[in-house]
Structure 1
Amino acid sequence: MGTRRIARELALQILYQKEIGQENLGQILTSLRQNSDKKFSTEVWNYAQQLASGALENQANIDELIAQYSDHWELSRICLIDRNILRLAIYEMLYSPETVPPNVCINEALEIAKKFSSHLSPAFINGILDKVKAHAFKGTLS
């Protein structure tokens, strides 16, 4: 598994812990570093922190997009894991398109959903991310 995939999965853990009540990003990172049975490279930690921080800083805008494109679903009804996979993918897609092409963001989100969520989640996530991509890039990227 590639470094960025590992970082994305770690960023998902960070957002999950933040949402279930951990106080701040610094405390979550410290806790994960101390309690993880895995040793991650500095590159993994840095990218995970960048993704999690960016998703949190832009959460209001990202959540608005999720709500807009999740037909007939309230944001609060979307499973916690799926909601955070969407946040990470949309952050990476919209705020780092020069680094990570939108299709890669979508594919990575789907692979992470297959690993951490239900069997129905990839289709749901794909539908929302495709709509965000179509709207944001207006057909300019494939």
Structure 2
Amino acid sequence: MSQKTLPTDVPVDEFLATLDARRGAEGAELVELFRSVTGAEPVMWGPSMVGFGEYEYHYASGHSGVWPRAAFSPRKAKLSLYGLQSHPGAAALLPRLGPHTAGVDCVYVTRLDAIDRDVLRELVRLSWSVTEDAAV
């Protein structure tokens, strides 16, 4: 099985320009927030994920691949924020983030202006630190 979501050469600004005005602005704000926390430049992963850095993962099943160390996708219904639950300290911070729902590896936010940016920065920082040893 090959990995489907991989880095592309599509400029992030071009992708953000295809979004509606609100999601485009939220995407641009998230790019700056993630960039300031991680020190990494954004790269498109697949058609709709903006990722920062990358790391190698290996599962007991033998499956392995690369994935962004921090990422988001400004989807139409919600902003998907990837990896924010991966650090043990994240559980204590998530209740302070603001209105959100959580999946296995994602935190979903309807509106960026409804969440606490300082808490988001800390969650991104913690997430980034979890993958430091596996960074490519």
| Shared fold, TM over 0.5 | no
- The normalised TM-score by structure 1 is 0.32
- The normalised TM-score by structure 2 is 0.33
Counting strand residues as a fraction of each chain, which structure ranks higher? Answer: 2
Counting helix residues as a fraction of each chain, which structure ranks higher? Answer: 1
